[in-house]
A and B are shown apart, each in its own frame.
Chain A
Amino acid sequence: MALKQVTETVDDWGVKVLVAEDSPTVRRLVCTRLNADGYEVLEAVDGEEALALALSERPAAVVLDKVMPKLDGFEVVRRLRESEQACDVPIVMLTEHASEDDVLGGLSLGVEEYMPKPFSPRELSLRLARILARNGGSG
């Protein structure tokens, strides 16, 4: 599916996406990008907030930094997968220096996609759109 088509599909849905990232500038940048691409964006500054928002707001997808205060990204994924509300929510994980074990561990927990840092917010938005298009996009 071409980028334009994917973006238009997302615009039509106006889907809710949770962005959990502890760096305020990176978080705002990602949120601004996703907002511009038609998503309704929820922000979390640490793992605990991410977990609470994912369970209460039931976003269509979660963008999760691996390294966060309070709960790390893996722990958030594990708890989401154990929950009833968000056991199948697609997750994109942002990682620095991901080892093979990290990637395999995350994939086995159900992380849909890894984006190694440094990353491009525009690429993240496109990948998210593709994941949502593949998964039906409902939130």
Chain B
Amino acid sequence: MTAALVWVVAALAAVFLLLLVAIVARRWLADRRGAADGAVRPGVEATLVDYLATEEDRAPPPPRTVAERRVLREVSLATIGELRGRERERLVTLAERSGIIAEAEAELRSRRLLRRRAGAEALRQFHSEASAAALSAALADPDLETSLSCAVALAELDDSAPIAAVLERADEACEERPGAAAAILVALGRRHPEALGEALDSERSTGLRRLAAAIAGELRLAEHAEALRAALEDPDDELVARAARGLGMIGDAAALERLLELAAAEDRAWFVRLAATGALGEIGDERALAPLERELQEGAWPAQAKAARALRSLGGRGEAVLRQALGSPREAVREHARVALED
């Protein structure tokens, strides 16, 4: 019994000692790495700034040590998001020539999850056209985070070849990660606006179409007005509301008749009527006066507020309706009209 106890204590002591050695070794390695990085950092930063600030095409010599390469990558990543124009282009070129892009591409093929994520995130920041093939291959990464970062990175490149695969990835992700799917669509909407038309296609999932409708409106992509008008006929209320808001932002007069119907549609959800009412005001057609006045007088509180703002944005005749509403016997109507006129 005593012998067994001694063995247990000895084993525990050995485990404790091993842990201690591992912690000390890790700490020592981290300190050594920090010191090496700190020693080369000023030189790397100065070289980088000199290169970015000059007109010379000749890139500085590639990093000579692991520490220099690590610091160059770290500094480049911290800086790339702050710059645009020629300086940004030069920084991307430098990352390509110095092997930072190739290193990140290699990380995408790593077995270690964190390395793959780091590689995808770095490539997402640099927007190097040279990385398209590696990013396309990594779209199938089993880790959702990695594959979504690759999808956003691809959406921001000029190359339109991977768009179909990127949209597919966004569609698969929009249930689980709607924010990430939206980031992909925003990037596509800015770089390849035509791709949002494909995202609005009725063959796509409702989730993706909802996101695409909202983003097409926010980005004022008038070329997708027809697809948004088609979405107004969809049975999904959320999609219809987003399409209505989008059409309002675009200012699509061709949608007016349908929006008037939706603003009065008792069989649709209240937020559909609200979105249609707001869109009517944004489009600014005076045929919207009567339904907006009705919403102001009879609608629920949010609809009244939206109708009052929409009447204000109609200008002359809309403002006349609001001034008349200031004399309403109903306090809520008076208050909405007053707030809209003071806004």
Interface set of A (CB-CB < 8 Å, partner B): 23-26, 28-29, 32-33, 36, 117-123
**Are the C-beta atoms of B53 and A32 separated by less than 8 Å?**
yes
24 pairs of residues in contact across A and B, judged by CB atoms under 8 Å: A23-B78, A23-B79, A23-B82, A25-B78, A26-B82, A28-B45, A28-B49, A29-B52, A29-B53, A29-B79, A29-B87, A32-B50, A33-B53, A117-B81, A117-B82, A118-B81, A118-B88, A119-B82, A119-B83, A120-B83, A120-B84, A120-B85, A121-B87, A122-B87
Which residues 34-69 in B have Cβ within 8 Å of A in the complex?
45-46, 48-50, 52-53
**Are the C-beta atoms of B50 and A25 separated by less than 8 Å?**
no
Q: Can you name the residue of chain A whose Cβ is closest to the Cβ of B45?
A: A25
Residues in B neighbouring A123, C-beta threshold 8 A:
85
Give the distance in Å from the alpha carbon of A122 to the alpha carbon of B81 in the complex.
16
B86 at the binding interface (Cβ < 8 Å): yes
Which residues 68-101 in B have Cβ within 8 Å of A in the complex?
75, 78-79, 81-88
Which of A25, A26, A117, A123 has the most B CB atoms < 10 Å from its CB?
A25
Shortest A103–chain B CB gap in Å is 18
Shortest A68–chain B CB gap in Å is 13
**Are the C-beta atoms of B87 and A120 separated by less than 8 Å?**
yes
Chain A binding surface SS class: helix
Which of B75, B82, B86 has the most A CB atoms < 10 Å from its CB?
B82
Contact with A along B97-134 (1 / 0, CB 8 A): 00000000000000000000000000000000000000
Given A26-B82, A118-B82, A120-B85, are A36 and B53 neighbors across the interface (CB < 8 Å)? Answer: yes
Residues in B neighbouring A121, C-beta threshold 8 A:
53, 83, 87
Give the distance in Å from the alpha carbon of A24 to the alpha carbon of B43 in the complex.
12
Give the distance in Å from the alpha carbon of A119 to the alpha carbon of B88 in the complex.
9
Chain B binding surface SS class: helix
Residues in A neighbouring B50, C-beta threshold 8 A:
32
Give the distance in Å from the alpha carbon of A51 to the alpha carbon of B48 in the complex.
28
Shortest B259–chain A CB gap in Å is 26
Shortest A135–chain B CB gap in Å is 25
Q: Can you name the residue of chain B whose Cβ is closest to the Cβ of A21?
A: B82
Give the distance in Å from the alpha carbon of A120 to the alpha carbon of B84 in the complex.
5
Give the distance in Å from the alpha carbon of A118 to the alpha carbon of B81 in the complex.
6
Given A32-B53, A33-B53, A36-B53, are A25 and B85 neighbors across the interface (CB < 8 Å)? Answer: no
Chain B interface category by residue count: 10 to 19
Given A23-B78, A23-B79, are A118 and B49 neighbors across the interface (CB < 8 Å)? Answer: no
Residues in A neighbouring B45, C-beta threshold 8 A:
24-25, 28
Give the distance in Å from the alpha carbon of A25 to the alpha carbon of B52 in the complex.
10
Q: Can you name the residue of chain A whose Cβ is closest to the Cβ of B44?
A: A25
Residues in B neighbouring A122, C-beta threshold 8 A:
85-87
Residues in A neighbouring B83, C-beta threshold 8 A:
26, 29, 118-121
Shortest B205–chain A CB gap in Å is 29
Given contacts A23-B82, A26-B83, A36-B53, 20 further A-B contacts (CB under 8 A): A25-B48, A25-B49, A25-B78, A26-B79, A28-B49, A29-B52, A29-B53, A32-B50, A32-B53, A117-B81, A117-B82, A118-B81, A119-B82, A119-B83, A120-B84, A120-B86, A120-B88, A121-B53, A122-B86, A122-B87
Which of A24, A29, A32, A117 has the most B CB atoms < 10 Å from its CB?
A29
Residues in B neighbouring A28, C-beta threshold 8 A:
45-46, 49
Shortest A122–chain B CB gap in Å is 7
**Are the C-beta atoms of B53 and A25 separated by less than 8 Å?**
no
Give the distance in Å from the alpha carbon of A118 to the alpha carbon of B86 in the complex.
12
Give the distance in Å from the alpha carbon of A121 to the alpha carbon of B75 in the complex.
17
Shortest A14–chain B CB gap in Å is 19
Residues in A neighbouring B46, C-beta threshold 8 A:
28
Contact with A along B155-192 (1 / 0, CB 8 A): 00000000000000000000000000000000000000
**Are the C-beta atoms of B84 and A118 separated by less than 8 Å?**
yes
Give the distance in Å from the alpha carbon of A44 to the alpha carbon of B205 in the complex.
52
Shortest A24–chain B CB gap in Å is 6
Shortest B102–chain A CB gap in Å is 22
Shortest A32–chain B CB gap in Å is 4
**Nearest 3 pairs between A and B by C-beta?**
A120-B85, A118-B84, A32-B53
Contact with A along B205-243 (1 / 0, CB 8 A): 000000000000000000000000000000000000000
